[in-house]
Amino acid sequence: MILILGGTGEARELARRVVPEVGAHAAGTPDLTTPAVFRGPVVSSLAGRVSSPALPPGEVRIGGFGGVAGLVQWLRDNDVHAVVDATHPFARRITANAFEACSQAGVPLLILRRPGFTPQSGWRWVDSVAEAARELPGERVFLTTGRQDLGEFAGCPQWFLARMVEPPEPPLPQRIEVLLSRGPFTVDGELELMRSREIDVLVTKDSGGAMTSAKLEAARQLGVPVVVVRRPPLPPAETVADVDGALSWLGTAGA
Ligand code: NAP
């Protein structure tokens, strides 16, 4: 079995391309990019954070494994041959757990991480969301760091437009508008949103990917300063930047 740790667009694309019957149906013809080695089951794993997640094709399991020990057990119980960690660049814990569990269980691990944003001049880089909260160069803040980190801004006097997929839980900033929305977003849409709320600073994680970059282009056009939270470091596992790289690796990992 191949286990894909998911929750991202790349994880869904990888699942689509390694679940042969789905790939064939989607294209109307056999998916020639899917090597013949992918005959075994493929299971995608989601954390279960959102109530109606975008589901990948094929088998899906939802919920935590129970830390490193639980994941080691799961890998053994399910005869997993290879793990692809295609989680979000800021999902630090599951990535660390996958590295440790795969090491313990002797299962090959690949990390699939899309590249970060192409840096633009004038961006302010910080090491954490907490640091971003301490150094906001504006009063009307467009916050796109997700609901899990919202508490870091709870003591801030600024006004916030906070966009996320699921409703947040306290603590929240006192002056806040919550916008529940899931991408992709367009540059025109982001321009309209930022103009209408008179945004004067954008805070983002260095998530990377085209799906979330429209806000950066809108900020550039409007001359709005951007605060970018750096990614956490990766464990020393083999890493690729795209789904093609993951498919090549799976072909040689004997999955
Ligand atoms: P995290 O802090 O790294 O993980 C916390 C715990 O959630 C893990 O220890 C694990 O529980 C469980 N978990 C996380 N991802 C899992 C997965 N794919 N399958 C099964 N269990 C998982 O993760 P997070 O930052 O809360 O992110 C949760 C999920 O949302 C990830 O799958 C990620 O790809 C996606 N996501 C995250 C962000 C972000 O900004 N962090 C943005 C978009 C999407 P156990 O220890 O019990 O195994």
Q: Ligand 1: does its nearest atom lie under 6 Å from the Cβ of 99?
A: no
Query: Which secondary structure element, helix H or strand E, spans residue 227, and what is its range?
Result: strand 226-229
Q: How many residues does the chain have?
A: 255
Residue to substitute in 13, 83, 88 for testing ligand 1 pocket (most ligand atoms within 8 angstroms of CB) = 88
Question: Angle, to 10 degrees, between the axis of helix 187-196 and the axis of helix 214-222?
Answer: 50
| CA of residue 61 to ligand 1 center, whole Å | 13
Q: Ligand 1: does its nearest atom lie under 6 Å from the Cβ of 94?
A: yes
- The residues of the chain that CATH labels 3.40.50 are 2-115+232-253, 123-229
In CATH, what class is 123-229? alpha beta
Joined tokens for residue 134: 């301490």
Q: Ligand 1: does its nearest atom lie under 6 Å from the Cβ of 6?
A: yes
Query: pLDDT tens track of the chain, all 255 residues?
Result: 999 999 999 999 999 998 765 444 444 444 445 444 455 689 999 999 988 899 999 999 999 999 999 999 999 999 999 999 999 999 999 999 999 999 999 999 999 999 999 999 889 999 999 999 998 999 999 999 999 999 999 999 999 999 999 999 999 999 999 999 988 899 999 999 999 999 999 999 999 987 779 999 999 999 999 999 999 999 999 999 999 999 999 987 655
**Do the Cβ atoms of 31 and 20 come closer than 8 Å?**
yes
- Sequence-ordered list of residues with C-beta below 8 angstroms from that of 252, at least 6 positions apart, any chain: none
Q: What are phi and psi of 229, to 5 degrees?
A: -85, 125
Distance (Å, rounded) from C-alpha 59 to C-alpha 64?
Answer: 16
Distance (Å, rounded) from C-alpha 37 to C-alpha 150?
Answer: 43
Q: Ligand 1: does its nearest atom lie under 6 Å from the Cβ of 91?
A: yes
Q: Ligand 1: does its nearest atom lie under 6 Å from the Cβ of 66?
A: yes
Q: Can you give the pLDDT at residue 51? A: 87
Q: What is the largest CA-CA distance in the chain?
A: 57
Q: Beta strands 238-240 and 109-112: pairing type?
A: parallel
**Do the Cβ atoms of 71 and 78 come closer than 8 Å?**
no
CA-closest residue to ligand 1 atom 46:
67
Helix (H/G/I), strand (E/B), else coil: 142: strand
Q: Can you give the pLDDT at residue 21? A: 52
User: Which amino acid appears at position 12 of this protein?
Assistant: R
Closest CA to 87 of 251, 207, 181, 185: 207
Q: Ligand 1: does its nearest atom lie under 6 Å from the Cβ of 145?
A: no
The correct CATH number of 2-115+232-253 out of 3.40.50, 2.60.40, 2.40.50, 2.60.120 is: 3.40.50
CA-closest residue to ligand 1 atom 34:
87
| CA of residue 170 to ligand 1 center, whole Å | 20
**Do the Cβ atoms of 193 and 140 come closer than 8 Å?**
no
pTM across the whole model: 0.91
Which residue's structure tokens are 């994680």?
A: 205
| CA of residue 174 to ligand 1 center, whole Å | 27
Q: Can you give the pLDDT at residue 34? A: 47
Distance (Å, rounded) from C-alpha 157 to C-alpha 159?
Answer: 7
Q: Ligand 1: does its nearest atom lie under 6 Å from the Cβ of 65?
A: yes
Ligand 1 atom at minimal distance to the Cα of residue 11: 34
Q: Can you give the pLDDT at residue 36? A: 41
Residue to substitute in 94, 145, 169 for testing ligand 1 pocket (most ligand atoms within 8 angstroms of CB) = 94
**Do the Cβ atoms of 137 and 158 come closer than 8 Å?**
no
